[in-house]
Amino acid sequence: MRTPSQLLALVLTASVGLAVGAANAKSLRVSHNLPTDNPAHISLEFMAERVDELTNGDLRLRVFPNGQLGTQRESVELMQNGLLDMARSNAAEMEAFEPSYAVMNLPYIFESEPHYYEVLTSDVAEDIFNASRDKGFIGLAFMVDGSRSFYANKAIKEPSDLNGMKIRVQPSPSAIQMVELLGGSPTPIAFGELYSALQQGVVDGAENNPQALVDVRHGEVAKVYSQDEHTMIPGVLMISTQVWDTLTEEQQNALKQAAREMMDFHRDLYNKQTLEMIEVAKNDLGVEFVEVEKGPFIEAVQPMHEELAAKSDKMADLIKRIKDRAPSLSE
């Protein structure tokens, strides 16, 4: 892991590189930890093009993939301090920085993909984005990141199948509690270390979207993907509050417009690629996809909904507003 001084040197070097652009253009660095062929990177590059077009080149984004400017946590911390302009993380990681993101991490809070996207583009999302203003950053967009399910070298068709299994989770209180309620042993491990952890038996399984089977070859070391679809945790694109406050109103509006357009672009791209990745995982990596009866899983995690709602009126309100949006989709 890089030291804070090494990270700062990387960010400062990136800043120098941006200075060679147009003399009057303001450039913002965007950090994320995914490869360049991932839909998130492609979508952020799309957003960069739209920002350039909407501001006639006065505002530009430069996207740094593959954790070049630090891990997700490191990037958020740099952004909070105004040393990095923008970062893309996910709601699971962001829960540690702003508790409001916890509602997005609740298992089975979303009834379907349309319900999920309805919430991502709603006033619920705006309230969560703005809750962290005093903590050094604000949200600009949620990014569809599919549904997460368990994968291992055996089928997980009911919660009891997780008994005694060490399951890699993100460093999220919600993810840890979920696996505990389902009977497994949650084991936080950095994503970059997960392949070897699965290969060496440090963990027995993990939970993620189907892309992980192919993008980082987890399908080589975990041959059964059990589609319980317990969470739909979105990516989060954020900007430093300090940086945001230096932008003109026109630049802020352009960023918001480009971010909203990027969300639709990304949803379409991501969902298409998910179907393609499932076929690659099946045909090229020999991964078996198993359908799961979700009822027992949903019942097992209901205490998480009740516990989070009891923490504050704000949490209870967010959860209620999310759930209230589901029925309208079928009217």
Q: Give the pLDDT confidence of 152-206 residue by residue, as tens digits.
A: 999 999 999 999 999 999 887 888 999 999 999 999 998 889 999 999 999 999 9
Q: Tell me the domains of the chain and their CATH numbers.
A: 4-97+132-145+234-275 (3.40.190.170), 148-232+277-328 (3.40.190.170)
**Span 266-279, mean pLDDT?**
96
Q: Which pLDDT value is given to residue 331?
A: 43
**Span 11-40, mean pLDDT?**
74
Indicate the SS3 state at residue 87.
strand
**Span 307-325, mean pLDDT?**
97
Question: Using one digit for the tens of pLDDT, what is the confidence trace for 95-116?
Answer: 999 999 999 999 999 999 999 9
Least confident of 21-35, 59-73, 77-91, 169-183: 21-35
**Span 290-310, mean pLDDT?**
97
Q: Which pLDDT value is given to residue 13?
A: 57
Distance between CA atoms of 276 and 69, rounded to whole angstroms?
A: 30
Contact between 81 and 8 under an 8 Å Cβ cutoff? The reply is: no
